[in-house]
Structure 1
């Protein structure tokens, strides 16, 4: 084991690696109930999504540990699952099978880009400042979703407003949960997000016990008490999501209009995932002291290929794009330096499968605090944002505002890139963005002005 994982060579021990893997799992296990909650809103079976989430996380993380030898963990990514449900399914009106087909194709493209080494060279295509703004915009979008799911933000005369009745059980408990989770996160408590979810849920069960929280399935208020501790019923749910992407692929080519939309959706998934993953890799690898003076680190192509395989498998199982989680840094901080850390995390995701009844009973107001704090975490890189430079400020603000107000990650990326190109032209630096950015700009202009006429 020591020789295979290079444990001693990297200055670690078996005990340290296992503890680091446990820590990583605790900090990112919130994705199981959160991803299930978000994707089930798109019409996918809850049990199927839960099992697809756990299995794709297990497969991707296991590959990361055994093949790439990295202490990084993977799972369906936040932001990408929101784009899947709220943009592709809700805003654009496509079926979840259509969205899964786009994820499948994205995964296949990713695999080719990873194995050929092209993917590692794409980081320079979109400027750093715009990537920082896109990350923050996705974070604020996720926060907004958390506020909506918990009932803190509701529709009103001004399109949206703060719920005038914050004393409703679910709404009040969500606010309490957000406060608890923020405090735990500030105090750097391991597993702060997961602890916040369970504490809020337990408070909800107490509220149901005293009659404050009223069970009303017609209003979407279900019992907060799990029907069982252990069950394998999620396997029957997987039957409804497994292979759904293939029917979506068939539907995508049913008409010329669908093909164009399918390409745009796939490209959006592709680019959001590329830069989200590259940023996470760079940050966590730096923390693990794996990056050399030239910015390279060992096993990078295998690492990229691991999440490409996981994304492809995840799409077939029935979940959104799998990506490397920034929470992997928690395991690195505990001393994880080898693939054994990732293998440990992967095993724990597999062991979580029988506990579907417990995780399935967790309400949206209990997962909302995790969404809010994840959103805050995604805004952290903005400390590097160059606010005084117009080429950063203008496209950055457009990217953020269109993501949140337009309720669309793809719209934010589109307008961010278009206004970046506009600013560079006005500055007399039209050549600086590069060919990739101009190709993207042309595609977005086509989508805005030509596609609606087709």
Structure 2
């Protein structure tokens, strides 16, 4: 009797296995359903910190924190589903770090645009990215931008995140004499922020799964014990997304002053995604003999589509996460890994009370950790060639010092074109770089 039951169970499982095989080509990629599920769980645990961090950052723009939490989970789930079902790759997506801070603290906070207009700019950049992918000009754009500027862009975003983290924790503060100075490092907030960063770095070194999320939760627990935050429960129905859903102002984003902002959203997403896709695919042995990712166009279209959809929900730019390498290391080889990750982001919707308890200083450590990872790209710059190193440094340092990713990108391009030309190496500069340098110069002079 038990044998007949097991046979019946096997018969029921067979069609499901066949469907998954047809959808994800598991045997062709030399993987199994179990391996993909474990990989999806691994990826989710390494990037789930975004559900704590993004609502904190976006609420600084005046957006409803609960609505942003729901939008974050749904944008990540939609992005992962598109990547998994359409591109069939084990890459997970979620609202990107760096651009969310740029969205809140610069576009809204410094430049004075409404968050609705900022969402419109995210939508436009996503659509432009999608068109670049559809018409296959994305590779021309990527190849025409110097590698040094691409690396500097990522590093600058990292430095930008670092200063935001230190500022939010009160570790650095404004000074009329020196611009910035050391804050009260003995305050509870500063100490807990530093503890969050130290814990995350140590756990990451020990290869602890979900190191960032664990660090955030430990510090939140300490803050709860000290009475710094109030317990609000763990599980509830997902918060309404009505305050942010379809609230974007696309017409308002068609403003001359927003050109550099749209470029910033587009460039950071484009280069970050391309670099992440290639490095993660290399780890998964998915690259062809030429070092290219077959079907990369589909992967890029999945990323750009997710950004556009995410902006409709009320989220900043959605991008492919480098944490996908954790899932790949755990055996993820197909889109089933991304689909599992999508399911877990949907499950996370029911844990909004926990997210609401996480204070900003607990997530500051996560921002600092991501900043460390992003600034590592500076090591690949050719420091012996001053015509490459100087523009890269200008681009990277001007992002935090001008408190704007867009300004850093613009000044980096202008310096690159000028230094190369005056050095007699104008052949190193592509037409697109010259065009962007002129455009950015005009923006500074006339707008």
Any idea what SS the aligned residue of 1:35 has?
Answer: helix
Please give the per-residue CA displacement for 1:88-138, whole angstroms capped at 9, x wherever unaligned: 112211111111001111111122211222223321121111111111111
Please give the per-residue CA displacement for 1:341-398, whole angstroms capped at 9, x wherever unaligned: 1010010001100111111110011111110000001122222121111122110110
Classify 1:252/1:308 alpha carbon distance in 2 versus 1 (closer, same or farther; 3 Å).
closer
Any idea what SS the aligned residue of 2:427 has?
Answer: coil
Mapped partners of 1:429, 1:175: distance in 2? 45
Query: Does the 8 A contact of 1:54 with 1:352 survive in 2?
Result: yes
Mapped partners of 1:264, 1:180: distance in 2? 37
- The one of 168, 178, 198 aligned to 1:149: 168
Mapped partners of 1:402, 1:291: distance in 2? 35
Mapped partners of 2:199, 2:285: distance in 1? 32
* Partner in structure 1 of residue 5 of structure 2: none
Mapped partners of 1:124, 1:251: distance in 2? 32
Any idea what SS the aligned residue of 1:155 has?
Answer: strand
Please give the per-residue CA displacement for 1:256-311, whole angstroms capped at 9, x wherever unaligned: xxx21133321221112111111111111111111112232122111111111111
After TM superposition, the score normalised by the length of structure 1 is: 0.91
After TM superposition, the structure 1 = structure 2 runs for residues 382-401 of structure 1, keeping only pairs within 5 Å, are 382-401=378-397
- The one of 307, 312, 329 aligned to 2:308: 312
Mapped partners of 2:379, 2:314: distance in 1? 36
After TM superposition, the structure 1 = structure 2 runs for residues 100-119 of structure 1, keeping only pairs within 5 Å, are 100-119=119-138
Q: Does 1:229 align with 2:225?
A: no
* Partner in structure 2 of residue 48 of structure 1: 67
Any idea what SS the aligned residue of 1:160 has?
Answer: strand
Deviation at 1:231, TM superposition (A): 2.0
- The one of 290, 295, 319 aligned to 1:294: 290
Mapped partners of 2:219, 2:246: distance in 1? 35
Mapped partners of 1:47, 1:120: distance in 2? 38
The count of aligned residue pairs is 427
After TM superposition, the structure 1 = structure 2 runs for residues 114-133 of structure 1, keeping only pairs within 5 Å, are 114-133=133-152
Question: Please, which moves more after superposition, 393-402 or 265-274?
Answer: 265-274
Please give the per-residue CA displacement for 1:371-426, whole angstroms capped at 9, x wherever unaligned: 00000011222221211111221101101111111111111111111111111101
Q: Does 1:161 align with 2:181?
A: yes
Any idea what SS the aligned residue of 2:392 has?
Answer: helix
Mapped partners of 1:429, 1:231: distance in 2? 61
Classify 1:86/1:125 alpha carbon distance in 2 versus 1 (closer, same or farther; 3 Å).
farther
Query: Does the 8 A contact of 2:74 with 2:346 survive in 1?
Result: yes
Mapped partners of 1:389, 1:185: distance in 2? 34
Please give the per-residue CA displacement for 1:8-42, whole angstroms capped at 9, x wherever unaligned: 21121211111010000000000111111111101
* Partner in structure 2 of residue 243 of structure 1: 246
Q: Does 1:81 align with 2:82?
A: no
* Partner in structure 1 of residue 16 of structure 2: none
- The one of 201, 207, 210 aligned to 1:191: 210
Q: Does 1:367 align with 2:363?
A: yes
* Partner in structure 2 of residue 175 of structure 1: 194
Mapped partners of 1:57, 1:429: distance in 2? 43
Any idea what SS the aligned residue of 2:319 has?
Answer: strand
Structure 1 gap ranges (5+)? 214-222, 254-258
Question: Please, which moves more after superposition, 62-71 or 422-431?
Answer: 422-431
Mapped partners of 2:299, 2:66: distance in 1? 29
Mapped partners of 1:321, 1:93: distance in 2? 19
After TM superposition, the score normalised by the length of structure 2 is: 0.93
Mapped partners of 2:430, 2:104: distance in 1? 32
